[in-house]
Amino acid sequence: MFKSKTNIFNFSHLYHLLIFLGFTANLISQNLSSTKLNQRTIKLDYNNTTGKLNTMFKECIGAGRANEGLRADWQQQLAMVKQDCDFKYIRMHGLLTDDMGVYKQDEKGNPQYNYQYIDVLYDYIISVGMKPFVELGFMPNYLASADKTIFWWKGNITPPNNYDKWQALIENLVAHFTERYGEDEVKTWYFEVWNEPNLDGFWSGTQDEYFKLYEYTAKAIKNVNSAYRIGGPATAGNGWIAETINFTNQNNVPIDFISTHSYGVKHGYLDEFGTSGTILSKDQWSVSADIINVRKKMDNLSKQNLELHYTEWSSSYTPADPIHDSYHQAAYILQKIKQTGTATNSMSYWVFTDIFEESAPRFTPFHGGFGLLNYQGIKKPAYYAYQFMNKLGETELQNSDNCSWATKNNKGDLQLLLWDFTNTHPGDMELNQTYYIKDLPSKPKEKVNIQLSNLPKGNYSLEIYKVGYKNNDPYTAYLNMGKPNQLTKLQVTQLKDESNGKPFLIEQIKVNSNNNFNKEIDINENDVLFFKIIKK
């Protein structure tokens, strides 16, 4: 009797267990179904083109200050960046600051000019095939109206004590450029008046005093050659655009381009000491919408002939934001440039190297610095965003995918650059400075199905390059090293090997008479993939 009851009891439990297992299996099936990767399809016709690829992304790149450009490691890094990314212009602060030895006065108050340091710097820039985007500032101490300065290197931010002497300095400097480099060369340069005068940290004067400075500067440059290009206001946060255009219109003051700046965090413009807490904006059109709206504003003011240059931009305005080092930054860069389209003539990423000393030399090899490269020349993920864009071909293919470019070059090779940008930042509850210093594994996002048609018959080599979590991601590798404050030679070698830019897949393909080629690949959040299909 007891045995029989036990059997009945066991059978009952078995019955309920089977029901439970069936229910669980159903839940698992549903969950697997719900987490199935989305399908993203990129359809390309080799013969369906839209014209020449817009390459405004490599028109200009930023650097910290002019005096840093006299360093050997700065110059070596610039040469590498030029070779890999092919930036055309470079812009920097502090050309006229006293550490460049440009200006003083004798005991009678007569001006004395000296351009030996500038010559060394500009000769080098031109020797590697680049041009200066000349930011005219800050104030030489002999011309300064007060002693208010910014940064560790003490750039004077006050208006001139004598505007005529300021004009004479600029005219003499530009005449020197003309004599040294030739009129035809200097005609290709840009002259920008000051930096972010709408911030009292960068300009102690008023808006009217800035416009006076602009007017005297414009006269100086045009006195040397009327074809030389002058512009501004080089403001933070897209400021003073209408005011600058109205001032130049109403006072018949020359202007050839508008320049301004935009960063992708929620608040703030200046972090001199690298201590501000920042939060990446959740607005999917941050930065790019600013640029598009400024272009519309300029057009509405009947100034369609003016060029627009964003002479600074990035995800964050502080040189202590770890998003700059993170693998997330590469996809962020590509997303913003793609969204901006043709609204601007250039977007100058701030900056090319962590050799950047606004708040004094930094004490760790990765500190959230602005650069594409760190002190030791280790290539950050952001570096590859620009290198990949530079490898795109001359002719763009028609492409309805909003997160990719497809091109072909004059040899007939095809290139495809695609990415996922997912803003994983948790929002107001956490700062960039605590979020992006973590090891942040990326989640699977989708399958990308690439469908190429009308590809000429023949044999090809397919190379695929990748940037993402633990792929050309030296910062995550640095975190896994324990974040050493100083790197040994061996550690530098290891991190450079982690970010060597080599293809992660190479295969040989054959296109037969149907002229089609398909490839499916998985992509994670914030991955960047670059495809080269090379005709043999």
Q: Looking up tokens 């107001």, which residue turns up?
A: 428
What is the per-residue pLDDT for 36?
66
Per-residue pLDDT of the chain (536 residues; tens, 9 = 90+): 333 333 433 434 444 444 444 444 444 444 444 456 789 999 999 999 999 999 999 999 999 999 999 999 999 999 999 999 999 999 999 999 999 999 999 999 999 999 999 999 999 999 999 999 999 999 999 999 999 999 999 999 999 999 999 999 999 999 999 999 999 999 999 999 999 999 999 999 999 999 999 999 999 999 999 999 999 999 999 999 999 999 999 999 999 999 999 999 987 667 666 677 899 999 999 999 999 999 999 999 977 789 999 999 999 999 999 999 999 999 999 999 999 999 999 999 999 999 999 988 999 999 999 999 999 999 999 999 999 999 999 999 999 999 999 999 999 999 999 999 999 999 998 999 999 999 999 999 999 999 999 999 999 999 999 999 999 999 999 999 999 999 999 999 999 999 999 999 999 999 988 889 999 999 999 999 999 999 98
Burial of 238 (0-12, 13-18, 19+ CB in 10 A): middle
Selection from 84, 135, 200 nearest residue 348 by Cα: 135
> Could you give the CA distance from residue 164 to residue 103 in angstroms, rounded to a whole number?
14
> How would you write 360-400 as a 3-class SS string?
CCCCCCCCCCCCCECCCCCECHHHHHHHHHHCCCCEEECCC
3-state helix, strand, coil in the chain (%, to 5): 35, 25, 40
Q: What contacts 501, CB < 8 A, 6 or more positions away?
A: 379, 384, 387, 465, 472
Selection from 202, 201, 272, 268 nearest residue 232 by Cα: 202
Q: How many CB atoms lie within 10 A of CB 45?
A: 16
Region at 182 (left for phi over 0; alpha for psi -120 to 50; beta for the rest):
left
What is the per-residue pLDDT for 304?
73
What is the per-residue pLDDT for 366?
97
Active site residue 196: yes
Say which of 312, 358, 498, 525 is annotated catalytic: 312
Say which of 135, 192, 196, 525 is annotated catalytic: 196
3-class secondary structure, 27? helix
> Could you give the CA distance from residue 484 to residue 491 in angstroms, rounded to a whole number?
9
Phi and psi at 145, nearest 5°, equal -90, -10
Active site residue 312: yes
Provide the pairing of β-strand 149-150 with 131-136.
unpaired
> Could you give the CA distance from residue 482 to residue 488 in angstroms, rounded to a whole number?
13
